[in-house]
């Protein structure tokens, strides 16, 4: 298995590796991250190797093929280099001549010109010039994959698709048959760019289009995303849907208590938000709602409690005079998280409207459900429809603090009504487990590797 991160914070990848090893597969999970040295450990019977990713300089070539990092090759053809624009931005900002935002906007025409030029010249292969840092994953992971001589490569997310495809090609040149499974975690056309430049999205879209045809099978996280992938890439077979569901049976039964960690008594209303922190995740809306919810506390369970954006949220809470009701805690193991969350009263999903937010039931949705928490979710399409259908929570208008407060008050007035959705023969929980997903994934592997006439 391949992934473009350090593994620890990626529960889908960890569960996939561990459950495959439990099913009898010999699994090596390779991560690529900015670490000082290779790290190794085991997830059950799966071996994990996180390789040091030393990023090469981001160089955008000029239109005659020369490096634009120095500026001359590009500017000679009337095509300014990225390095030149960045240097100009730094000088202007230092002199007070441009704000950072204005500087970013000033370089956009150049970036759009780069995209148009290289797309016309190299089509989908333009990523080689627009996002050359993608080669770092190949340089780091490629030799290790070749050494392992796998029979099947499971490439998680979009960056590792090309790495896996090229490894498959090299193996086939040596006479070895290797199958490739691509695990599409998100709909890339609807993703928020990871970097603030105009090259990022078109480069990665071309990268995926170039290599998606190498996949023997595709898996993804929701039915709607499966349909989008079929449409976008003319896939011959509909992707297998593997939900981001939690492990139901775990050997790690002991777990810290969220309420105790916050120092709260059993009768104090407690909301919880667990997961990544970013503006589009909508936590600011929750903070804006707290003054409308006297006595209600908020727990934020996040990867890095000291991250800059987390500090901004805490500062906002202090300005609204609710800072004493906001508690920031670090992540716990995904195998302990459900028990950790269970002492809260409501699980929050306050997402803004963004294409990828509309199309899937995200990991925290299932984690809240298995913790038997009523869910208050913004009106992003798939999760709002599910909550309305199951009766497990309430929906509010995205970015509307007053409506969020209304939804919270409704749930707190009768929480047992919402928890009842998780009980009885119609409970959705049995299908919302990783164990159920692992059966599908194992069946896919076996089908791909079963010899046929």
* Residue 22 · residue 34 · CB < 8 Å: no
Nearest residue to 320 (alpha-carbon basis) of 377, 259, 405: 405
The mean per-residue pLDDT over the stretch 275-280 comes to 93
Average pLDDT across the chain, whole number: 89
Nearest residue to 59 (alpha-carbon basis) of 69, 49, 72: 69
- Per-residue pLDDT, 202: 96
- Per-residue pLDDT, 105: 63
Query: What are 134-161's pLDDT values in tens digits?
Result: 999 999 999 999 999 999 999 999 999 9
Residue 383 in this model has a pLDDT that exceeds 70 = yes
Is CATH 3.40.50.2000 the classification given to domain 2-54+131-241?
A: yes
Strands 179-184 and 152-156 come out as: parallel
Q: How far apart are CA 270 and CA 254, in angstroms?
A: 21
Residue 89 in this model has a pLDDT that exceeds 60 = no
- Per-residue pLDDT, 399: 98
Q: What is the DSSP letter of 302?
A: E
Counted residue by residue, the chain has a size of 453
* Residue 255 · residue 340 · CB < 8 Å: yes
**Fold entry, domain 258-427:** Rossmann fold (3.40.50)
The torsion of the CA quartet 46, 30, 338, 417, rounded to 10 degrees, works out to -120
Cα–Cα distances in angstroms (integers) from residue 410 to residues 368, 394, 418, in the given order: 18, 8, 10
Q: How far apart, in Å, do the first and last CA atoms of the chain sit?
A: 28
The mean per-residue pLDDT over the stretch 89-117 comes to 69
Max CA-CA distance within the chain?
A: 72
Cα–Cα distances in angstroms (integers) from residue 420 to residues 55, 248, 270, 425, in the given order: 50, 19, 19, 11
Query: What are 311-330's pLDDT values in tens digits?
Result: 999 999 999 999 999 999 99
Q: How far apart are CA 346 and CA 343, in angstroms?
A: 9
* Residue 203 · residue 123 · CB < 8 Å: no
Neighbours of 225 (CB within 10 A): 21
Domain with CATH 3.40.50.2000 in the chain: 2-54+131-241, 258-427
Neighbours of 397 (CB within 10 A): 15
* Residue 291 · residue 367 · CB < 8 Å: no
Query: What are 286-316's pLDDT values in tens digits?
Result: 999 999 999 999 999 999 999 999 999 999 9
Number of Cα atoms under 13 Å in the Cβ half of residue 450: 7
- Per-residue pLDDT, 409: 98
Sheet containing strand 375-378, strands side by side:
326-330, 297-302, 270-274, 346-349, 375-378, 393-396
Neighbours of 315 (CB within 10 A): 12
Residue 72 in this model has a pLDDT that exceeds 60 = no
425: Cα separation from own chain's centroid:
32
- Per-residue pLDDT, 90: 44
Query: What are 12-55's pLDDT values in tens digits?
Result: 999 999 999 999 999 999 999 999 999 999 999 999 999 999 85
Residue 65 in this model has a pLDDT that exceeds 70 = no
């Amino acid at each position: 298995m391949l992934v473009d991160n350090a593994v620890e914070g990626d529960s889908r990848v960890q569960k996939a590796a561990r459950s495959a090893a439990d099913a009898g597969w010999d699994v090596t999970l390779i991560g690529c991250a900015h670490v000082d040295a290779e790290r190794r450990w085991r997830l059950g019977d799966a071996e994990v190797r996180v390789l040091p990713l030393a990023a090469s300089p981001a160089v955008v070539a000029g239109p005659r093929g020369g490096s634009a990092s120095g500026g001359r090759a590009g500017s000679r053809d009337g095509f300014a280099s990225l390095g030149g624009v960045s240097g100009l931005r730094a000088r202007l900002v230092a002199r007070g001549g441009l704000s950072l935002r204005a500087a970013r906007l000033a370089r956009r025409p150049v970036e759009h010109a780069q995209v148009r030029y290289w797309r016309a010249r190299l089509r989908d292969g333009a990523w080689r010039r627009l996002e050359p840092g993608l080669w770092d994953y190949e340089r780091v992971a490629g030799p290790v994959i070749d050494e392992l001589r796998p029979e099947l490569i499971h490439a998680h997310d979009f960056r590792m698709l090309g790495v896996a495809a090229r490894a498959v090609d090299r193996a086939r040149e040596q006479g070895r048959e290797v199958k490739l499974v691509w695990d599409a975690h998100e709909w890339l056309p609807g993703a928020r760019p990871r970097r603030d430049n105009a090259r990022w999205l078109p480069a990665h879209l071309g990268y995926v289009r170039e290599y998606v045809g190498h996949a023997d099978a595709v898996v993804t996280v929701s039915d709607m995303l499966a349909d989008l992938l079929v449409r976008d890439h003319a896939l011959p077979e509909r992707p297998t849907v593997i939900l981001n569901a939690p492990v139901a049976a775990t050997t790690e039964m002991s777990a810290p208590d969220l309420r105790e960690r916050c120092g709260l008594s059993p009768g104090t209303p407690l909301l919880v938000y667990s997961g990544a922190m970013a503006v589009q995740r909508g936590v600011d809306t929750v903070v804006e709602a707290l003054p409308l919810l006297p006595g209600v506390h908020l727990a934020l369970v996040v990867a890095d409690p000291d991250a800059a954006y987390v500090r901004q949220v805490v500062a906002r809470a202090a300005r609204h005079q609710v800072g004493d009701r906001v508690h920031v805690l670090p992540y716990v193991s995904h195998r302990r998280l459900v028990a950790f969350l269970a002492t809260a009263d409501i699980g929050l999903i306050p997402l803004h409207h963004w294409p990828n937010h509309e199309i899937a039931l995200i990991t925290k949705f299932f984690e809240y459900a298995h913790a038997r928490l009523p869910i208050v979710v913004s009106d992003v399409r798939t999760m709002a429809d599910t909550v309305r259908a199951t009766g497990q929570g309430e929906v509010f208008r995205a970015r509307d603090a007053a409506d969020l407060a209304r939804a919270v008050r409704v749930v707190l007035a009768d929480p047992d009504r919402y928890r009842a959705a998780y009980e009885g023969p119609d409970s959705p929980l049995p299908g919302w487990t990783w164990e159920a997903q692992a059966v599908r994934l194992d069946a896919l592997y076996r089908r791909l590797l079963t010899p046929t006439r």
